[in-house]
Structure 1
Amino acid sequence: MHFTLEHTDPATRARAGRFETAHGTVHTPIFMPVGTVASVKGIHQKELREEIDPDIILGNTYHLFLRPGMEILEAAGGLHAFMGWDRAILTDSGGYQVYSLSANRKIREEGVKFKSHIDGSLHVFTPERVMELQRSIGADIIMAFDECTPYPCDYAYAERSMHMTHRWLDRCIEHLKKAPPKYGYEQSFFPIVQGSVYPDLRRQSAEYIAGADAVGNAIGGLSVGEPAEELYAMADEVCRILPEDKPRYLMGVGTPINILENIALGVDMFDCVMPTRNARNGMLFTSEGTINIKNRKWATDFSPLDPMGLTFADREYSRAYLRHLFAANEYLGKQIATLHNLGFYLWLVREARRRILDGTFGPWKDKMVVQMDKRL
């Protein structure tokens, strides 16, 4: 995978680029809709392709390992064939899910023993096994197995965890040297920077990850409860060290404002469940601010859902109708809101890319941050 850096914004460190995968070109900056269990929740693949139109989506190794399982995925020919998706896929290694199972897992040097959240069965993830699982899934981009530290986290724990993540990275790399992809195309491997919210640890980890000379790099362990200022400060530290000629992926981030601020710092790739999860709770993101569609004020607002939106749902449904669907607990309401939010997120990163290319990203970003912070 070769990353082409097309342009850098003159007022910030925002970048526009592209890279090739076996399943198509990915243009950056990019937001990856989260398809945790081989499904972007509430969205048909036809809508995903034609309305939201992402170059790449995300799947999760932990969840796919539990259901449907590797035997079924291999029989199908990999995740692309199984879910009917012919564009790029990135898989998270499961490190974040292991972090979220803190009451049901034990972390050791060898790996992590955990209980399934589905049936309580015991399983073990090692760096080597996680690489094997991602080979079976067949994603275009696969992630190193890491430990995502909690927030807050004391310095000593963060340092120990970071060094273990580095040792796990070395084991991932060694295993992949002996394990070619299973479906006839190359898989690109990204290591992950850790270090909690400690600048010296983040710099140390970024240097170690840069030294691995992978085709791309990720920043993990953020958006786990720390203040936004800490998130930006750590991303800033890391982006100053990670190589400019490779894509940078900030994992699990975040709000539309978070995304714009981190694009300005030099981040290229994002994912987050926020647009889909918040949609199911009635929160809509727009370029003018955030809408809680459950509020009574929308009951007689028959204007389009979002006059600036790009999906058919934004044009064909009114705010009053969507509020009615939520009040009646009709699942169609959640589907419409999800389609809108994902469409908005993809519009946001594409507009950011356009602004980077024409040199207007900085002032546009500052204006957008103010607008999107409003509650309508």
Structure 2
Amino acid sequence: MAVIPVALGGRSYDVHVEHGLLEQAATLARPLLRKQRVPVVADTNARRLHGDRLERSLSEARHDVSWFDVAPGEGSKSWNGLAQMCDWLLGEGVERGDHVLALGGGVVGDLTGFACAILKRGCGFIQLPTTLLAQVDSSVGGKTAINTSAGKNLVGAFHQPSLVLADLDTLGTLPQRELRAGYAEVLKYGVLGDRAFFDWLQTNAAAVLALNSDPLQHAVATSVAAKARIVAEDERETDDLRALLNLGHTFGHALEAETGFSDRLLHGESVALGMVLAARFSARTGLIGVEDAARVTHAVSAAGMPAELSALGLECDGARLVDHMRHDKKMDAGTLPFILLRGIGEAFVARDVELADVSAFLDEQLQLR
């Protein structure tokens, strides 16, 4: 088992990465479960696929489980979804010292974490991420949020979990497309800050995506460790360090907005294509060589994700995509920071990017075949 600490003083916690962790959940969470009755928020698919394993573990430890089901998809991260969950938690008698379990992907983790951040001014929660994207990204670091009509993740709070159990067995039930989309976040850690890991992924990507045990655990644990180091140094993104985790996201969120935050483009796919665009824009401005940009493009394409903007069939121009970017929550005094590259493994925050140049660049990319 890999155990990665997230060092945040009195709010520190461990991330466990291993097979069979749902069977060990009650044992590993024992110090945090104060009451016989344990509230569990679950994606309906995750509960169907993995709920029995979790409930068996808790039952054997003499806990009763109370379930709150969340429909799959970003639509559940809403004001209404938040209100329903808070009402349920209050009805369950959840107190500030209690812990709520979140079983599912990023939607469940974000929604549960935000509800726990505001319920009675803060109660505890435990992340049980069941998707690759959630295991390597959203379950670690304490960012919680819901979506509004104005955009994605614009209302939220920093609220760290008390424990994360990333059970690798849950990944075996993922559709291939979702698995590949999660791999985009794994690849991101190599592109932004670890060229050696990027090189390793180029050799081992197929084994990771085939869920071969040792390569998979190495990929997930390395990704979590990278994020843990960044979060420990810049928890609330007040410096530029944690901002590097947004590599691919400024371009990607614009693409998600243009496609209606739908299954037409999954979040991980948007991040992967966003990384390609960030690399190509970096090459266009002379920051990196075209060879490095091509390597990023190949890594995304080889993992079975869209690597060309034109392949999305968007009926828009670069200016429209830039308009989506203007609603980005990172916009500050009329300036939008971009995460660009000086090389693979050398991401940085650029605050001098002209949006007119981005618009022209995107027009070019929309025409590429």
TM-score, length of structure 2 as denominator length:
0.40
Structure 1 or 2: larger helix share?
A: 2
Bigger RCO (CA 8 Å, 6+ sep): 1
TM-score, length of structure 1 as denominator length:
0.40
